[in-house]
Structure 1
Amino acid sequence: MSSPLLNGAINHPHFPFHCFGLLVDHLFDDITVSGIGKRRVRCGCTFGAKKGNPERPFGKVLVSWDSKSLASDGCPDNWYGVSCSKGSVTSITLNDLGLVGDFDFPVIAGLKMLRNLSIPNNHFTGTTTVQVGSIGKLEQLKYLDLRSNGFTGDVMHLLSQLGSVGYVDLSCNQFIGSLDLGLSNSSFVSGIQYFNISHNSLDGAPFSHDGMPYFDSLRVFDASSNQFVGKVPSFNFIVSLQILRLGSNHLSGSLPEALLQESSMVLSELDLSLNQLEGSVGSITSVTLKNLNLSSNKLSGPLPAKLGHCAIVDLSNNLLSGNLSRIQNWGNYVEVIDLSSNSLTGTFPIQTSQFLRLTSFKVSNNSLEGVLPPVLGTYPEIKTIDFSLNQLNGFLLPSLFNSTRLTDLNLSYNNFTGPIPLQPFPNIPFVGSVQNLSLASLDLSHNSLTGLLPPEIGEFCSMAHLDLSNNHFEGGIPDILPDGLTMFNVSYNDLSGVVPENLRSFPDSSFHPGNSLLTFPSVPSSLTNVPNMSSRGHRSHMKSAMKAALIAGLVGGASIIMLVAIMICYRTHQQGSKSNSLKGDGERKGAQQEIPSRPAHHKNVDPSTSCSSPHDHTSSSQLGSAHQLKETSSVVQRPKDLGLPELIRKNDGFSSSMSLISANPDSLKVCSPDKLAGDLYLFDGSLVFTAEELSCAPAEVIGRSCHGTLYKAVLESGHVIVVKWLKEGIAKGKKEFAREAKKLGNINHPNLVSLQGYYWGPKEHEKLILSFYINAPCLAFYLHGALRQAAEELLMGGFGDEFKFDLVSWKKVCRPLEVEGLVIRRVIDCKFGVDIGVWKSKEGRHPYAVGVLKLGEETERRTLPPLSVGERFKVAVDVARCLNYLHNERAIPHGNLKSTNILIETPGLNALLTDYSLHRIMTPAGTADQVLNAGALGYRPPEFASTSKPWPSLKSDVYAFGIIMLELLTGRSSAEIVSGNLGVVDLTEWVTSLASKNRSIECFDKLILGAQNLDDMLQVALRCILPAPDRPDMKTVFEDLSSIVHEPATTGVEQ
């Protein structure tokens, strides 16, 4: 029986596409179709509503497809999606109906007059390899749309059968093979006008058999999001081509200049993004090219001197350098400019007044200096400006805040000074009404702005996102800030006074650390304040609430009593009806017995940053949530069973979710199917469910990291998945996020935990990435113990600044010591006991204790057998093999390599890497947090200290891998501070010093002393932590390790 898909459907027991079977039966009875006998289409289709419900799309089919409703010529009469002409079916259009099952091509092939076959956005499956031979009989077919289904097989088996078809869309399926149209029907090549094979798994060099075929009529060619390699094919002589999309592949070589030059081509859109193209971008002289996307390649050199007639130009995420002033020569056609994440220098040119059509201008994450040019505020159509992560200085432009078109302004991570230049709006003559001010997102964080927060900010009625953190603002917070704010942050300033009432629903992290004189009222002024205060732990006792309710009136009190009764009844019903909820240890064990085993390597199961297993209550993923009492104290509780959608609520970021959980965990068990109302995208057919099913899935918190909160959710089908709910503000825009996430989802390797999908919600905080759950501990458990790993994950990576304490010198932590009411009972050489003192390095060599996590007696210690030397070598080779694949086959760094992101799967101790390349879907600020987290745990390379914008690279991966090897060889933690004859040094200094004195035997873990090849492995590790220019690449490291352990140096992926 098929699983319900999309619209939450139930199976229809008598619809193996039987209505269409009746259609075909009558066609064959009443219409002359030679050579075809009666057959029924075996599609096993599933509809998602009651039979005959015309309100749903599939209901139209069920209602209208009646075997008695036939025209006089035997053709269907008013059957939904079926058109006839002269007694023959000419068109079948079943778009977006949520149909499920195997599609039987041979039966469709019997409709010889069929001109249109359109079945997109369903869940049909089937392989073209076996069934497609008969589709060649559709000689009249002109339009074929199979997109967004689950069809498989070699794409050439299908294309070679097609005749003179004008429109073919095979996108978003699972087709494989190479693209050799020289082997296809010549009439297909000459007649095709629209050809889309994007988002499949095609590989090889396109058109490698006979070269580029001569397309007479081709206008649109989309082969993006596949695995093509080689150079970009030459499309010079396809004079009709208007749109060419080859993004998200592995194409290399230089950029074909002919595509950018004025010629006989009429190309209007060119997308070569997310490849490995190198070289420079010359002047663009084409007068037809309007949309150019060359982002995420390896292009270098200066910006193009001319843009021709381009309206949209995306050159972001390359290696472009030189002065930004070259844009002053670009024409007045440009509407969108994105030059983010390059190495551009210089200042903004002041002679750019020609940009009268410019709507979006992004140059974030470069090395620009100087002040903002006054002309910037004169662009009449500008809507988005992002100059973040540069070195700009000076004052802000008042004209930017007076624009009636500007919606998004991001100037964060610069060196701007002075106040926010907002004046009372009635004094501005050219602003007719404050309602015309459209600014919806303002990010001025991480600058040096001063002064008071102007009350005029409240005039921006559309404002939803306001980040003024990490500046030097003083005074109070205006009382009239917009009520529609969904994100608000003023932490790390010098504000004082009382938080306005309409802002009290935001988490404490929106105001603190910093702002030591900024307070919340100790007692709510009225009963209506209670819900806002509860989200930060400012709850009143029940008796106070009841008194306030009585004062408010008997009606209000009765309403509260009724609401409580309803919630209790609903919770009791939920507990009794969901037998597969994760209610306790015993039920979790029972549930795990029914969870399917991990599929093949391309369908891995991913706990992401977590190192948890269902029975491991000492890991970071199972330690539960802390209720923040003050900025300097916390109490850790056991995990609760939580309904996923209620964990993150409006205006409550991830920092506040801990308070919600511990304050009233039972209130979070309500499952609301409409909580997730956005777009759910699954990368392949190994997981099939809807956003509604995900909303209703029982879930529990299993970990937190710098990326967000991690949940384990049990779907109705029995599959257990991991949901990483990203922190608000760290995800890129929807288009970039989708493009990068899909590319990451196409990466599969035996030693890699692959992403399975993502969810993009309508609200800022609703960004999720999905993967299978895997029951395996991480490397940190084996080497350092569960408590040690838990401390790092919860306090170093998970909660960040919320749980920082006053700095205490390491040397003083040698006896019980009270820190803000919490006691560090013992810390011995960074080894953690039942009460854990958590530390991290500051300024390189001066360690401090910065946090305390006290675990109760009920927490059981996880005991794992120590890894043998052979097992440690295997882990090193597995990790190196996977990194070699990422670096040399995919050309992307992992970016977040650490022992807690390496799972050890049993039996066999197969190493699996998680959290790979997430920096590609994050904003620069999110990536900066990840880099800081890596530095706190000892995995950040030294070269990052000398750059203002460190970014994950292949070289930084090699350094982190070297640290992993040192952990394997020494048994010590990456961030461990070692005391001894050498003084107080970190792990790398300690090992390097001993090795230089031929005393390396002293650094090896005593459990593996005497084993062979330890010195050879150590030498590989030491080379990995050399300065960046001397560091080997991952291919060399992998080959060296393979030779030491006598393994063949293969990538591990079938070619």
Structure 2
Amino acid sequence: MVIDRFHKYPVNNFSLEMKIALDCWHFLYFLPFLLVILCVSEPMSSQDWDGVVVTAADFQSLQAFKHELFDPKGFLRSWNDSGYGACSGGWVGIKCAQGQVIVIQLPWKGLGGRITEKIGQLQALRKLSLHDNSIEGSIPYSLGLLPSLRGVQLFNNRLSGSIPPSLSFSPLLQNLDLSNNSLSGTIPPSLANCTKLFKLHLSFNSLSGSIPSGVIGSKSLIFLSLDHNNLSGHVPDSWGNNNSTTRNKNVSFNLQSLTLDHNSLQGPIPPSIGKISTLTQLDLSHNNLSQEIPDSFASLSRLSLFNVSYNSLSGHIPDSWGNNNSTTQNKNVSFHLQSLILDHNSLDGSIPASISNLSSLVVLNLEGNKFDSEIPEELGRLRNLSVLNLRGNHFRGPIPASIGNVSTLTQLDLSHNNLSLEIPDSFASLSRLSLFNVSYNNLSGSVPTPLAQKFNASSFVGNVQLCGYAGSTPCPSEEIPSAPSPVVSKPHPRRHKLSTKDIILIAAGALLIVMLIICCILLFFLVRRKPPSKAKDGQAVPRAEKGAPPAEAEAGGGEAGGKLVHFDGPVVFTADDLLCATAEIMGKSTYGTVYKATLEDGHQVAVKRLREKITKSQKEFETEVNVLGKIRHPNLLALRAYYMGPKGEKLLVFDHMPRGSLATFLHARGPETPINWPTRMKIVQGMTRGLFYLHSHENIIHGNLTSSNILLDEQANAKVADFGLSHLMTTAATSNVIATAGALGYRAPELSKLKKANTKTDVYSLGVIMLELLTGKSPGEAMNGMDLPQWVASIVKEEWTNEVFDLELMRDAPSIGDELLNTLKLALHCVDPSPSARPEVQQVLQQLEEIRPLDTMTVSSGDDGTGVPSTSE
């Protein structure tokens, strides 16, 4: 043997140098054999070139993970069978530590398929992030058996089945976000064992059953969102209860955001919620809650949003709200409540004067209750109030003149009450009002001229003695008293019999009156039969068939015929309700006219009446509109219904967004109403998420994305509107829309040649809106002869970048400077003149979340500078 050749020489007779030389010769001699042994004994999947060993269990699990997923875009192509690069950056979405997989992060990749149960072999896995894909199936039971698991982000997928109770076995779990899926079953009570869980987001699913009391008793939770499910039963009454046992007396609750809206919860609101002193956002709306609002809620000094609308609450508003004089310890506490939303309940009594102590209040909505007192003068002290809605109550007495001193008011609705006397002259100075309604009261006198010129008749109708507005009778001028006539003694008149002439005149007069009555009746029925396309602003739209069912109203049995088709939504109405609604013009576009329609029951919807000559044929229109009606996403404005009239008129019905468009929100405000950076970034992320859903899940190009088509709800959540409307229109009409977008400064430069929008042209429009939010400037404004992207690029090129940003944002520059610069860089990337250089929408969204993560958005103080708390998207 080879080794025997060296054994015959006595080692002791060799010098040290000879021994070293011999050892080197040994190594060189056996090197080829060693390399062969290494190559055949261990596959490359167990060792990367950088020397980091990947365990066989992790490699096997990742292979199974890839096999179960559907990857149409080829993102997992780098996951090769050899395992090379798995832990050295070669495999997309994989991060390792000491050869074990600790992170799988594959959001916005268009992935389908299922998550394999073999994921439980990744014993070191800390974070699983697969959100914004199309993954189906159930959540693997083995996922909860991972001892190091900290974060699970599976929101915006198509997952079904129940939430595995095994997740409670993860002692380090901190963030569990399963929102916007199709999960069913109950919430596992064992989740209460996750003592480090600070975010639990399960909204927009089909979860049922009651809310586990153990879960809401968690001391670690900061964010709890269970809204838009089918949860029932009572809300547990163990919130913030530290007095049950001695060991819990010094434990404090940290919950900041609690959203349980849009469920079927019933019973009273637990008073113990008022003990959660850290709470900034509380939304219990759209449930079946009853009884009174607990007095303890008046002490929640950090609360910025309180929403209990659409319940069955009764009793009075707590009269100590914002009152710091009750106890010594609270004298220096400042209250941050910005949105107090109590509409559509059965509350009665009066508005407590203590509400005037809520100096930060921006939205006060008491619509649809049973308040029967006078409106307190103290409301005039709310100098930050923007929305005051007292519609549909029994308020009586005069309108307080002090409300006219609240210069920040943009919406004031006092309609459908029992208010009397005149509209105060001080209301003439409310220059920012975009909505004003005092209809159906007992008001008299003349309307202040600025209000009469700005608002149409629908804002004033139903007040018999009110004059001075469009369509009303002129106000009588002041009469000069005439001199008294001298008293002349006259003899008593003699009675005469009626002559033939008198009798003829009386008969003719009576006949004339009868004919006038008949004409009025005929005119009434003619107006009722007039098609809706001829309705004017502020008038009732003509009726369709009376009593049509809410799902579909077919032509044939009604007065006007037509067809109404419902998809879904919180408001159910018939064709008769829709066509007889009071309409107020909100805006006009190439597609048609948008109205705010107030139904007979007080609900408001947005109705877009399409121009008749630019829509497709009826058959094509129905096919396309039924596709649009099924699209649902939190950041898309849902199409709730459509109506087709007998003469070709077409109406689309949407949810009414109370805060209007982003263009109005950003540009039609005063300097004392700033919009801070968290709110602007929240809007950017919301509209980007909605656009990404259109591109990736619905294969729809928007083609007309502008800040006027980004609508905002009461919490400033962005909703992309007008998507897919080009599918309902002729080619010529779509081209006209593209040209209009160019005139406004949102059109990508290549559209002048292409004439057809695509994903990259949408990204360009998205980038322009991002620049609009960063600069505070409207793209339609010419800046030294340049459009907005050109102007920004020129400023950046001259290294005067700080001059680009809105002055409101620069006040917080020390803390948000990096976020501003990174967002500006991304926006300029989106508006690159070369379409191929622009990113796709999913890349934009990913970078936005890296700039300002969702956790930062949701675990914030809630103050967005506009009176609306920041919420997760």
What interval of TM-score do these two structures reach, taking the shorter chain for normalisation? 0.3 to 0.5
Looking at secondary structure, tell me which structure has more helix per residue.
2
Which structure has the bigger radius of gyration?
Answer: 2
TM-score, normalised on structure 1?
0.38
